[in-house]
């Protein structure tokens, strides 16, 4: 499985953007827009990353956790599955799946340490209950592939290891989007190399041609990443909280369009 992405559950579960962008009806009833949906998921990806820094697990665990969280919300609503609990739970589960187990006790300690907002302060019991619900929501598929391995190999192959730092950072940022649910990880890696080479003004045309990959897909992913960077600038904490606050509303108070 680790050897063959094409026979993996990850490959079989890849979705179209349109499928990923479905706001579930309980959330819609509370006025959550697609934009809100994306902002909350991005915020939770950041939250997972912050927690991961505290409990000291590696980037790969973070990446798996964020992927779990995004997969959960292709199937479940945020109304039923509070993102403020789902996010740390996904980190907890990913730490087990990636053989870097973090104790629930420790995670809850840091949850409380970095959050003053009561809405984030969940207890061990909540985490353990949600762990089972997340497992179920994931349909027990836990193996996730990431672009990192492909990235290192491709950069080596291209003789561009000097771009490792930049492109690695770009790959990290792709987890703020849903790309991992939509494209094979090596395509995401290629898009990041492509962006990095453009930024560094390196001519990689010949190298990409030799790879015989669909450059349209690589360029599309690259455009999505660049679009994301443009939009990301305008999103602040206020905007995120406004989106999250909608989840607390009673559905009847919201005007349906």
Partner 1 sequence: MSAGSGNSSMSSRGSIGSSTHNNATATANSSSGSNSNSNKPAWLQQYDLIGKIGEGTYGLVFLARTKSNPNRGKCIAIKKFKQSKDGDGVSPTAIREIMLLREINHENVVKLVNVHINHADMSLYLAFDYAEHDLYEIIRHHREKVNHSINQYTIKSLLWQLLNGLNYLHSNWIIHRDLKPSNILVMGEGEEQGVVKIADFGLARIYQAPLKPLSENGVVVTIWYRAPELLLGAKHYTSAVDMWAVGCIFAELLTLKPLFQGAEVKATPNPFQLDQLDKIFKVLGHPTQEKWPTLVNLPHWQSDQQHIQGRKYSDNPGLYSVVHLSQKSPPYDLLSKMLEYDPRKRITAAQALEHEYFRIDPLPGRNALVPGQPGEKVVNYPARPVDTSTDFEGTATVQPSQPVSSGNAVSGSVAAAPVVAARSVPRPMPMVGMQQRVQPPPGMTAFNLASQAGMGGGMNPGSSIPMRAAAAQAHQQQQLRRKDAGMGMPGYPPPQKRRY
The smaller minimum CB distance to partner 1, of residues 228 and 251, is found at 251
CA dihedral over 156, 160, 161, 166, signed as positive or negative:
negative
The smaller minimum CB distance to partner 1, of residues 153 and 161, is found at 153
Task: State in angstroms the smallest separation of the CB of 68 from partner 1.
Answer: 12
Task: State in angstroms the smallest separation of the CB of 152 from partner 1.
Answer: 10
Residues between 121 and 150 with contacts to partner 1, criterion CB under 8 A: 124, 127-133, 135-136, 139-143, 149
26 binding partner 1? (CB under 8 A): no
Residues between 94 and 123 with contacts to partner 1, criterion CB under 8 A: 96-101, 103-105
Task: State in angstroms the smallest separation of the CB of 95 from partner 1.
Answer: 9
Residues near partner 1 (CB under 8 A): 1-4, 8-9, 58, 60-61, 80, 92-93, 96-101, 103-105, 124, 127-133, 135-136, 139-143, 149
């Amino acid at each position: 499985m680790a050897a063959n992405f094409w026979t993996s559950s990850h490959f079989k579960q890849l979705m179209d953007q349109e499928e990923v962008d479905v706001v579930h009806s309980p959330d819609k009833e509370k006025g959550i827009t697609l934009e809100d949906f994306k902002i909350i998921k991005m915020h939770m990806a950041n939250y997972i990353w912050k927690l991961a820094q505290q409990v000291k697990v590696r980037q790969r665990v973070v990446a798996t956790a964020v992927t779990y969280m995004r997969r959960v919300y292709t199937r479940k609503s945020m109304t039923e599955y509070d993102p403020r609990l789902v996010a740390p739970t996904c980190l907890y589960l990913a730490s087990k799946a990636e053989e870097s187990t973090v104790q629930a006790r420790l995670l809850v300690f840091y949850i409380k340490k970095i959050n003053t907002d009561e809405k984030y302060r969940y207890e061990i019991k909540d985490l353990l209950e949600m762990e089972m619900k997340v497992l179920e929501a994931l349909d027990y598929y836990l193996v996730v592939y990431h672009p990192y391995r492909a990235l290192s190999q491709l950069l080596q192959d291209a003789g561009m290891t000097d771009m490792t730092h930049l492109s690695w950072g770009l790959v990290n940022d792709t987890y703020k989007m849903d790309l991992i649910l939509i494209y094979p990880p090596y395509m995401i890696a290629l898009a990041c190399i492509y962006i990095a080479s453009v930024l560094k003004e390196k001519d990689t045309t010949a190298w990409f041609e030799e790879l015989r990959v669909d450059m349209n897909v690589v360029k599309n992913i690259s455009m999505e990443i660049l679009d994301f960077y443009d939009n990301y600038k305008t999103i602040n904490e206020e905007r995120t909280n406004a989106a999250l606050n909608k989840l607390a509303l009673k559905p009847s108070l919201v005007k349906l369009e």
